[in-house]
Amino acid sequence: MKPLDNQKLAQSIVENLGGENNISNLTNCITRLRIDLKSRSNVDLEALKQLEGILSVIDQGTIQIVLGPGKVTKVANEIHENTTISVEVEEEEDNSEFDMASDTKASYKAKQTSMFQQLFRHIGNIFVPIVPGLVASGLMLGIANLITNLANPDAGILDPSVLETDWFMLLSAIGNLLFGSLGVFVGINTAREFGGTMVLGGITGLLIYAPVLGDVDSLSLFGIDLNLSPGLGGLLGVIAAAYLFTQIEKFTRKRMADSLDLVFTPLITVMAGSLITIVLIQPLAGLLMDGITWFLVDVMLQTGGILGGYVLAATFLPLVTVGMHQGLIPVHLELINQYGSTTLLPILAMAGGGQVGAMIAIYIKAENKRLKNTVASVLPVGFLGIGEPLIYGVSLPLGRPFITACLGAGFGGAFLSLFSVGAITVGPSGVVLIPLIADNKYLLYIIGLLISYAGGFILTYLFGYKEEMVEKLYGKETMKTKAATPTQQEETIINSPLSGELRPLNELSDEVFATESVGRGIAIFPSEGKLYAPADGKVTTVFPTGHAIGITTDNGMELLLHLGLDTVDIKDNVFEVNVTKGEEVKKGRLLCTFDMKAIAGKGFDRTSPIVITNSDDYTEIAPVNHKQIEAGDKLFTVK
């Protein structure tokens, strides 16, 4: 398919967004257009995704059309010049630039529109805010359990009397606080999620776990004999009851006089909601929870054994990509409530181990420098149990490594299923889960994690990666085998725009520049607050803050001169720009002055990346091999 020129691409974007009259606001930053629409009725996002030149379309309320550095400005200009749409330059630059991980994740989340996917998204919004408390409480209980084990007479390490001390009893009590009140927090978050009064949602948590239900034991209502018990239906029952309370409250409030609303709306909500909860929600939620735990624990783990453990670990990450994994949080918590630990969580945690092993294999086999840098940047957090950068940044865009990582993780899950390794709370995975393992089975969990690392590594190394797959991330032109055109063989000299100390990009703290996502180049730690034109050309970008200037040279090279890291967040007048967008400049022209002390004083790194954003058009970009450089000296040799 022949690529569209920028004017036709701009026209097609506007048409597929329902026409210029349907666009209420359009903003462009360094990599993407952000569009707010008046109506969705005539919008065709699928057609947008098929247009040549568009890297990604993300729908999160505001439509984001990712075009990449340079091109986004040209397309935005075409829209501005050929329509009545006012195009704004975003003052707060998108720090992620073209962040493969965030864009892939957002694209997958944008596709999660089915009823079940929306349900699991709601469940995630209810439980995710509680997770930090669960982790803290779990760690406190883990410490208390460790002390209990060390105080065992058979261990002979601590005096058993330590278990009777006030500080130990206080430690245990604080660790149990959240678990004893968890239903209340779930009810509050559910009401907030669905637009109800939070305290009424909290009452549902108190109702489901009320001790009086055990005292009453049985109740006859409307000719129906009900068996009552505290906790029947578990946290799923709390969510359903809180949702019911919210709907009753909204229904009643619409029909209640304002003078009576404060008194009678909550009264009717609690009375009617409690009745329906006891008669209907608790029994049904109890059956549903029993069915889920029966399938996952009795069928998959106890009956399925090794095979069940393998399948659970191998299929967990596909659930993550469609948002369904959040639905397992109440299941874990119910297992902890019933059995004291969840054997499901450590097995599912092996999925992240498979991804880590796959990343190591890709790093060893990859020849592409950008990919290796990306892998190196995401691996540390992968060991800590944070898998999203690995999944969305590398394995899922590549495709095959995602599959081999999942299959490799299954071996770790199979191993753990043999020994019923459990966790005392939900939260982290990876090595961070080790202190939360129940019954002192830490070594078994570590062995399982190592097996998942090895499984993901071996399968990915043997079957999951080929260098040609890099094209999926960076396009065909990034391959070293690309034939250079005659003009690319011509040598071009780019002079240094700054005086200072040279530093390689891969040493920068900013991942986008360090992984060369924007382009190849070098960084300069400036010794003087003056930025000069590195070549003859045209100023194509001047950001409002003055922290970044783009120049296209006379032979088509696109240069990005970025003063400092994350300096878009500086709102004071630190940068004084001496050129305007569209202005022709000669090599050595003073473009900008800046206050180095002010940048450092505000806590920002003044190391300045100088990159060629269309570096894929060139076969060789060779920075000089110096430690120090003066403005005007040779910085790059480009072919």
User: Active-site positions?
Assistant: 29
Q: Rounded CA gap, 249 and 425, in Å? A: 33
3-state secondary structure of 158: coil
Q: Rounded CA gap, 455 and 351, in Å? A: 10
Q: Rounded CA gap, 436 and 277, in Å? A: 34
Q: Rounded CA gap, 423 and 142, in Å? A: 10
Neighbours of 414 (CB within 10 A): 26
Extract the tokens encoding 606.
């003044």
**CB–CB of 354/412 below 8 Å?**
yes
Query: Which secondary structure element, helix H or strand E, spans residue 612, and what is its range?
Result: strand 608-612
Work out the burial of residue 295: count CB atoms within 10 Å of its CB; fewer than 13 is exposed, 13-18 middle, 19 or more buried.
Answer: exposed
Q: Taking Cα atoms as reference points, which of 383, 399, 406 lies closest to residue 456?
A: 406
Neighbours of 199 (CB within 10 A): 12
Q: Rounded CA gap, 373 and 455, in Å? A: 23
Neighbours of 393 (CB within 10 A): 25
- Tokens 């490799």 correspond to 408
Q: Rounded CA gap, 359 and 395, in Å? A: 8
Q: Rounded CA gap, 388 and 356, in Å? A: 11
Phi-psi region of 61 (alpha: psi -120 to 50; beta: other; left: phi over 0): left
Q: Taking Cα atoms as reference points, which of 592, 615, 606 lies closest to residue 543?
A: 592
Q: Running DSSP on this structure, what letter comes out for residue 342?
A: B
Q: Rounded CA gap, 317 and 390, in Å? A: 11
Burial 246-271 (b: 16+ CB within 10 A, else e): bebbeebbeebeeeeeeeebbebbbe
**CB–CB of 599/570 below 8 Å?**
yes
Neighbours of 535 (CB within 10 A): 23
Extract the tokens encoding 151.
């105080």
Q: Taking Cα atoms as reference points, which of 631, 531, 526 lies closest to residue 576?
A: 531
Q: Rounded CA gap, 433 and 347, in Å? A: 11
Q: Rounded CA gap, 509 and 599, in Å? A: 16
Query: How far is C-alpha 286 from the geometric centre of its chain's CA atoms?
Result: 33
84 residue type, one letter:
T
- Per DSSP, which regions of 237-351 are E strands? none
Burial 560-584 (b: 16+ CB within 10 A, else e): bbbbbbebbebeeebbebebebeee
- Tokens 């007479």 correspond to 153
